């Protein structure tokens, strides 16, 4: 598995396998949906909320970065819930015609789910979310939505 490191504007670097990054890019063109990407991102945030994820944030990266248009960041407080949310997202992606790949495991405390159309979903345990603090790393990105 080849790996691509993405250096952020801080001391933290995030490593994403090129396979997952490729799925994200491939999904941008493949999704069979008439929805605009921002609307699709809101739909994903609603799914996360319906599945009991907490502190959901939707960030608009469209004017800042080329490899993703939207980040959705959410917190879950247990492993089983994280797994259930990923399964629900995979079903939504399948319904939309996108590949259902993801990176990480619920036990890792961070699941990265490329959702197509330039949308990447990050599902964190409370500890991992605090440690990586993506909202601070992407502080230049406007916050479109926050669901407590």
Residue 51's CATH number: 3.30.460.10
* Region 113-122 average pLDDT: 92
**How far does CA 101 lie from the centroid of its chain?**
11
Give the separation between CA 25 and CA 82, rounded to whole angstroms: 24
**pLDDT of amino acid 17:** 56
* Least reliable range by pLDDT among 32-46, 81-95, 109-123, 129-143: 32-46
* Least reliable range by pLDDT among 50-54, 104-108, 126-130: 104-108
**pLDDT of amino acid 137:** 92
Give the separation between CA 88 and CA 9, rounded to whole angstroms: 32
Expressed as residue numbers, the domain containing 123 is: 3-147
**Which residue is associated with the tokens 């990923």?**
86
Query: How many domains, in total, are found in the chain?
Result: 1
The DSSP output letter for 109 is T
Contact 41, 59 (CB under 8 A): no
* Region 10-28 average pLDDT: 48
Q: Which two tokens stand for residue 143?
A: 């916050």
Identify the sign of the CA torsion 117, 123, 129, 132: negative
Q: Which two tokens stand for residue 95?
A: 């319904």
Model confidence at 13, pLDDT cuts 50, 70, 90, reads very low
Give pTM, 2 decimals. Answer: 0.76
């Amino acid at each position: 598995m080849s790996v691509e490191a993405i250096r952020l504007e801080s001391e933290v670097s995030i490593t994403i396998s090129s396979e997952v990054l490729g799925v994200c890019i491939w999904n941008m063109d493949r999704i069979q949906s008439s929805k605009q990407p921002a609307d699709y991102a809101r739909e994903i945030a609603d799914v996360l909320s319906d599945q009991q994820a907490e502190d959901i944030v939707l960030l608009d990266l469209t004017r800042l970065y080329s490899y993703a248009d939207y980040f959705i960041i959410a917190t879950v407080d247990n492993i089983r819930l994280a797994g259930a949310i990923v399964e629900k997202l995979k079903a939504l992606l399948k319904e939309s015609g996108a590949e259902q790949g993801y990176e990480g495991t619920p036990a890792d405390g961070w699941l990265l789910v490329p959702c197509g159309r330039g949308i990447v979903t990050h599902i964190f345990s409370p500890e991992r979310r605090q440690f990586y603090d993506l909202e601070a790393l992407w502080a230049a990105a406007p916050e479109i939505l926050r669901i407590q």
